[in-house]
Amino acid sequence: MKQAILVIGAGMVGTCTALELRLRGHHVTLLDKRGPGQETSYGNAGVIQREAVEPYPMPRGAGFLLMAALGRDPSVSYHPAAVLAVLPKLWQYWRASAPGRHGAISRHYAALIAHSTSEHARLLRLADADDLVRRSGLRLAFRSGQPFAQALADAARLQRDHGISFQAFDGAELARVEPAFRRTLAGAVHWSDSWSVTDPGRLVERYAALFQRNGGRFVHGDGSTLRRHGAAWQVDSADGTIDAAQAVIALGPWAESFTQRLGYRLPLFVKRGYHRHYADGAMPSVPTLDAERGYVMSPQSRGLRITTGAEIAALDARPTPRQLALAEASARELLELGAPVEPVPWLGCRPCVADMLPVIGPAGRHPGLWFNFGHGHQGFTLGPASARLLADLIDGATPFIQAEGYAPQRFAGY
Ligand SMILES: Cc1cc2nc3c(=O)[nH]c(=O)nc-3n(C[C@H](O)[C@H](O)[C@H](O)COP(=O)(O)OP(=O)(O)OC[C@H]3O[C@@H](n4cnc5c(N)ncnc54)[C@H](O)[C@@H]3O)c2cc1C
């Protein structure tokens, strides 16, 4: 049965959800405070990470913890008060990162990631957005031999277990294929099945335009006005009051305050990240993770976008772009970096869940309310596949992959 459905949040996840539901014939309204794709889904590295079959665990080695505590590991940074505030969730994250549990979690994650490029491909074709996409992979570059050897062993294991492809480059081969680098590195793992885009926010806009061309409605409004109205859901928008039989929360980093207000206790937290563009300098030919320094160099339409690792800090705390300064210095060692484009770095928040799996499914205590958020490091990758899974659940169809691992109900006492 076709229904009136309201999707709140027009990032990659909400926009794909609205689009998928509209393509299935539902009457869909997509609501956001801002335009589509202007928050986290704008600021990321733009990599569609088909290789990310295992979500990023919390590193558990004593060496990492010491370096992180001393502020010497560039991949992580923190505000002490924020760490204390989310300590119980970090503890859950730590426990979920133990090898046995991480293996079980990864089996769910791999099932969804396996459909990341194929689901994007379907929407890219319909949206006529292929011009934004490069199907040229993701490179992990290593400065020293031991981490490179470990990465090669890990890559071989992932290739064997998941059928994803990579190429190995030693230092001399890397120097040949990447003349932009002015020093010889230990080598690189090049994941060939991953894709990237030249403008992540623009891709979300193209998906939103496809949604509207197909009869979907986009409105500006504040999702926190959502309320029950008889058997329906109701929200205020710039176009007046909107009523819908079903509502989907796709608020990314803002989902926590929203779900808390409705009485749900989910282990959500954010890992903040920064980016800045550098113009008129050298660019690597493919997005490249400087693996031992924890930042990504991504060639984009505005220049070379450098994105940083994780900062544990409150969503709205003041910016502290220390990691970006370190990343910029590291990038300058590797290539002729251009001039910064923005006077102030961009800051955004990865919407994370303590068990590393997104929350996709029915809200449980509120009939007709659905969740689709918590995609952490890979929400740009997972938007279309997550949308398909949620649309299957809303339609009462057999989900195209097993849905239990993503259900909000997996959290005891939630
Ligand atoms: C530095 C960095 C690099 C990253 N790199 C990658 C990458 O290479 N590949 C990848 O797959 N992922 C990457 N990610 C993660 C990815 O960007 C996120 O997981 C993804 O963008 C989350 O999408 P979303 O739609 O859930 O959230 P968002 O894109 O944040 O969308 C949420 C929407 O909710 C709206 N909203 C908030 N409050 C309200 C309200 N009250 N009413 C109405 N609307 C509201 C916002 O305006 C926003 O549009 C990166 C993240 C960061 C920070």
* 40 CB within 6 A, ligand 1: yes
Sorting pLDDT into bands at 50, 70 and 90, what band is 75? Answer: confident
Question: How confident is the model over 178-236, as pLDDT tens digits?
Answer: 999 999 999 999 999 999 999 999 999 999 999 999 999 999 999 999 999 999 999 99
Average pLDDT over residues 120-142: 98
* 375 CB within 6 A, ligand 1: yes
* 116 CB within 6 A, ligand 1: no
* 350 CB within 6 A, ligand 1: yes
* 254 CB within 6 A, ligand 1: yes
Distance 376 CA to ligand 1 centre (A): 9
Atom from ligand 1 closest to the CA of residue 47: 8
The pLDDT of residue 71 is 73
Query: Could you confirm whether domain 1-50+199-265+356-414 is CATH 2.40.10.120?
Result: no
Mean pLDDT of the chain: 96
Distance 205 CA to ligand 1 centre (A): 13
Average pLDDT over residues 150-172: 97
The pLDDT of residue 414 is 77
| HEC sequence for the chain | CCCEEEEECCCHHHHHHHHHHHHCCCEEEEEECCCCCCCHHHHCCCEECCCCCCCCCCCCCHHHHHHHHCCCCCCEEECHHHHHHCHHHHHHHHHHCCHHHHHHHHHHHHHHHCCHHHHHHHHHHHHCCHHHEECCCEEEEECCHHHHHHHHHHHHHHHHHHCCCEEEEEHHHHHHHCCCCCCCCCEEEEECCCEEECCHHHHHHHHHHHHHHCCCEEEEECHHHCEEECCEEEEEECCEEEEECEEEECCHHHHHHHHHHCCCCCCEEEEEEEEEEEECCCCCCCCEEECCCCEEEEEECCEEEEECCEEECCCCCCCCCHHHHHHHHHHHHHCCCCEECCCCCEEEEEEEECCCCCEEEECCCCCCEEEEECCHHHHHHHHHHHHHHHHHHHHCCCCCCCCHHHCHHHCCCC
Distance 350 CA to ligand 1 centre (A): 7
* 252 CB within 6 A, ligand 1: yes
Atom from ligand 1 closest to the CA of residue 224: 41
* 45 CB within 6 A, ligand 1: yes
pTM check: above 0.95: yes
Distance 10 CA to ligand 1 centre (A): 9
The pLDDT of residue 63 is 72
Question: How confident is the model over 370-379, as pLDDT tens digits?
Answer: 999 999 999 9
* 311 CB within 6 A, ligand 1: no
